[in-house]
Every structure is written in structure tokens, then in C-alpha cells.
Chain A
Amino acid sequence: MNKSPNSVDMQVKFLSLTLKNPVMPASGCFSFGQEMENFYDLDLLGAVVVKATTLEERSGNKTPRLAETPAGMLNSIGLQNPGVIQVIQEELPRFRKYPNLPVIVNVAGTAVEDYVEVVENLNKSPDVSAIELNISCPNVKCGGIQFGTDPTMAAGMVHTIKSVTKVPLIVKLSPNVTDIVEMALAVEEAGADAISLINTLIGMHIDIEKRRPLLANGIGGLSGPAIKPVAVRMVYEVSSQVQIPVLGIGGIRTGQDVIEFMMAGASAVQVGTANFIDPMACPRIIDELAQWCDQHGVKKVTDLIGAARG
């Protein structure tokens, strides 16, 4: 791998956080980071976003939970995680050895009270840099996405969480809505500090031999390169309308993809599915981004933000 050129300033100020570069792994595609330490120094990352954390331990959905699709995949993990207490005690302290690595905790639940309790617990941890509110998980029966598809419910949730949290609040939006801008404006108005988008698109794959949906859960969330154009469009539309920063997510696999998202208006990006086929995806993408900037005379990566919006 080529070394990043030093001539490019890769730093991004995002809310109160200083990101060494605009690239971080997406929630659910990095677990709690431990496994990735076998592949690279996590300090290379702009930040990390850990797996959705719920109040109680959750065992997730039945398998099969994964299906490959053209240029993408479906997942129906169903928020399997050890619960917030375990996350605070066992998982998050492991990031202390990276003092310059912001840790963003993705929070999920089924009822407003659950979310509140998770956030109250996280307030007690010194290891949380920001919260990413997941109101967009398509894989749990009640809650989650229900908040993410109704602007009034979303605003109510954001308002409540904002009054509880001690760290910046990022709200992760679902693309499974008719008007993404309406959702974005609603959560901005309710006090969100930033928006991340997109979570997965709801999809289905049928096993034609068995004449049944392949995933045990029936439906799942579509991710990967297949969703990138949808995500870029949504980042473009939303970042033109809101004042708060936007994190771009969806199908990123190269440095060029990051540039596209940033030109559409993203301040930073998250990389999900690409980590599965290429464990080195994040550091590789960071290098590719720096190379591109260098070759194109871009001195500061932040100069790319919104460049395509004219």
C-alpha cells in the first residue's frame, strides 16, 4: 500500500471532535473493534462507530441472516449485542489505548424509554465521544425504524434524547421514506447535532428452490455498492437543506467513493459492507483519498465538502 502524501491536510473538525481523516467504519461492520486490531492500527481511522447497543443483551434473529445480492448484500442481524452494561464495562475501555480516536456509540432500542436508559448509562462512561441514534434498523419487529419513518415520532425521540445525552448527538436516518429532507429537517429542528445517512434499504431475496425468502427473517437491509447512488442523492439533498453536518454512508469501497460523498455534502463518511470482503478497506480508502487529493491539488480534504453542489 502507498503511504499517504503528507501534503494533504486530511483533518476534519466534526462537532466537538477532531477526526484525523474523514473515514470511519460504519456501525455493525466493525463489531467493537477487537477483531480489526489483527489487521491494522485503529489509530489510522478518523473515528470508530461501534455495533448497535441496546439496553438488554439481544440474541438477534435466526439464521440465515445474510444473503449476497447483485453488488450488495442483505442482512437481518437483528441487533445482536451484549447490552449496554457489558459494552461499557468490557468493550469501550479497550479504546483507551487510542487517545486520539473518537468513539461513536450506535444506540438502538424498541421504545423511547429503552433509548433513554441506554443513553443515561452511556453518560456514565468516559469512553463515549458521541452517540449515533439508530432510528433506522429495519431488522427488529417493533421500534427502531418505526421512529425513523415518521417525522413527528423521530423529532419526539431526538428531542428526548438530546435532553439526556452529555455528548454530541448524531441521528442516523433510514432511506426507507418518501421524503428524506422532511425527516432531516424534523430531527435538526428537534436538536440533532448531526445526521448520518443512510442505513440499509429494506429488501428481500427468494430462494427459488425452496420457494421461500432466503433470510429466516424474510426481509433484510440492503447494503453495499448497490445502494451508493441512492445514498449520494440523499446526502446531496439533505446537506443542501440542513445547517448541521452530515455523515455519508452507503456502498463506499474506494477513495473515489468518499470524494463523491464529500462533494455531495458529507463532512465525513462511514464504510460498512466493504470491510467484509476487504478487512483493510478503511486504511486503503484513506490512502486512496489522500492520493487523489494530492494528484488533484486539493490541499485540504474539507475543501471537497459540498463541491458538487455549486
Chain B
Amino acid sequence: MGYVSVIAQEALTADVYSLTFESPTDLSQGFEPGQFLHFRVTDSFDFTLRRPLSLCAADVQNNQITVVYRAQGEGTKRLTRLKAGDRVDVLGPLGHGFLTHQGDKKVLLIGGGIGVPPLVELARQFHESQVRVVSALGFATQAQAILLDELSDCGSLFVATQDGSLGQHGFVTQLLTEDFCAGIDRYYACGPTSMLKAVQQVMRDRNIAGYLSLEERMGCGIGICVGCVHPIARDGKVVNRKTCKEGPVFLAEEVIFDE
């Protein structure tokens, strides 16, 4: 943990940035796609909380991590000022990421908007171990579509946009027809809560198990504030579990969403 060097930062779209930095911990000791990094925005106490951003790509050889994030509020806007050579205070990779299963031959990755980044490292790892990857991504508009090349490099790619400017017109769940899902062993999803809820429903109908990466507001990111919980059904009991420690990725069937 602590201060690390920024390697590079570049804009991918009008408001989405890719930031590469030295990993705070030794990646060769192990990490999981779907884990997150917790960024201190400034050295001062102007921002009370860190910002969680998912690991998007890892370069184990050089011990470097890339995150891809949208500059939306004050904190993430401030992060866009970082440039090569700057120091930044980062914790991580933290939490539990996506689990892969021996014997799976074909997996479906479902991403919505700024939920796509963590799927990139996952896709790369599947591709490397010869598991077939199908990616279904949803964006608001073509201008907001990101990381398409990275995912199509690892398998087949399908896109839906809400305004129809790219791919299918509509939500990503509209791609997930019965035919489309035929032969899929498992799915992995990350995106806004409304999308995860719809995905959980559709994939339950398709009778395919999977994982959801949840997004809750975080305080500490290390398990001490109990701010980030989500109701999880396990062993016949629903318990508010810390998404920073036990998640952010959970078995889809365990995740309880509000009606």
C-alpha cells in the first residue's frame, strides 16, 4: 500500500480516462480480475473518502495496473490531472473478484457503461486459457462505447446502445436471447444496479449460473466502516455483507435486489 508512480494517463472518450500506474502490491503474488483499487484523491483531507476503481488490465511482468474510469464528480475529475511520473496513494488490489471454473468452455461477459472495465482482464485470462469468450456490452450511445477492441480481441463481441447509434437498439439484456445464450457455461456481469437486476432475472430464466460485480458506496474499502454492504442470501439466511471485503463480486443467485 501507499504511494506509487503513475505510468501514463490518456482520455478514451470525452469523459473516460485510462490510468496506468505501478501496482501497490506485487501482482505476481496473485490477484483476481474484478478486484478494485482504492484511490486517495489528494494528499490533503479535502476529500474525506477514497474512490474505488476496478482493475481493468494487469501487466504482471512490469507490475503495472490500468484502471478505466469516468470523470463524473469532483474526485474522479481531480484524478484526471495525474500524469506520468506523479505519485498517487492507492490501496489494493482489494476485495474478491471473479472466480473462474475448471471445465467451463464458453463464458458470457455482460457489461454496462462504465461497468465494462473489469471484464477486460477477465476476458484476457479466459482467452489465454482457451475458454471461448462472448461479450455483450450496453452503452447509452456510440460516443460512450469503450474497450470494444480489447474485448473483441478475446472473442466475439455484441453491442447494444440505448439510442441505436451502435449495434442493437435497446438495453444489453435484449441481446441475451435463448439462442444467444445456447452453450454458455457461465456468465460474468458488471454494470449499473438496474442492469444487474435485469441480467440476474434473464439469466435465471436461461438457467445459467454466474457472477455479479456490485457497486455500493464505499468508505474505507478495507472492511472497517460497514458502509458498503449488500444483502446476500447464503446458507438460508440473508445477511448484509461487506462488498469491499467479501465482494464486490458475488454469486448471482445469492444477490438480493430491492423489489
Contact = CB atoms under 8 A, between A and B. Distances in A.
Interface string B82-103: 0000000001000000000000
Size bracket, chain A contacts: 35 or more
A35 B50 CA distance: 17
11 contacts: A30-B224, A35-B223, A62-B258, A63-B228, A64-B216, A66-B219, A66-B228, A75-B225, A77-B226, A80-B240, A253-B45
A126 B210 CA distance: 45
Interface stretch (A88-96, A237-245, A271-279): A271-279
A80 B225 contact: no
Interface of B: 1, 40, 45-50, 75, 91, 216-231, 239-240, 245, 258
Contacts of B228: 63, 65-66
Given A35-B245, A59-B239, A59-B240, A276 B219 contact: yes
Nearest to B225: A276
Contacts, number: 96
A12 interface: no
Q: Nearest 6 pairs between A and B by C-beta? A: A66-B227, A35-B223, A276-B220, A31-B224, A73-B48, A276-B219
Given A63-B217, A276-B221, A277-B40, 13 more contacts: A31-B223, A39-B1, A39-B222, A51-B226, A62-B258, A63-B227, A63-B228, A68-B47, A68-B49, A71-B45, A72-B48, A73-B49, A279-B1
B60 to A, nearest CB: 22
Contact of A275 (B1, B220, B227, B240): B220
A161 to B, nearest CB: 25
Nearest to A216: B258
Interface string A3-46: 00000000000000000000000001111001110110000000
Nearest to B42: A277
Contacts of B220: 275-276, 279
Given A35-B245, A63-B229, A66-B217, A29 B48 contact: no
B228 to A, nearest CB: 7
Contacts of A295: none
Contact of B217 (A30, A65, A224): A65
B239 A29 contact: no
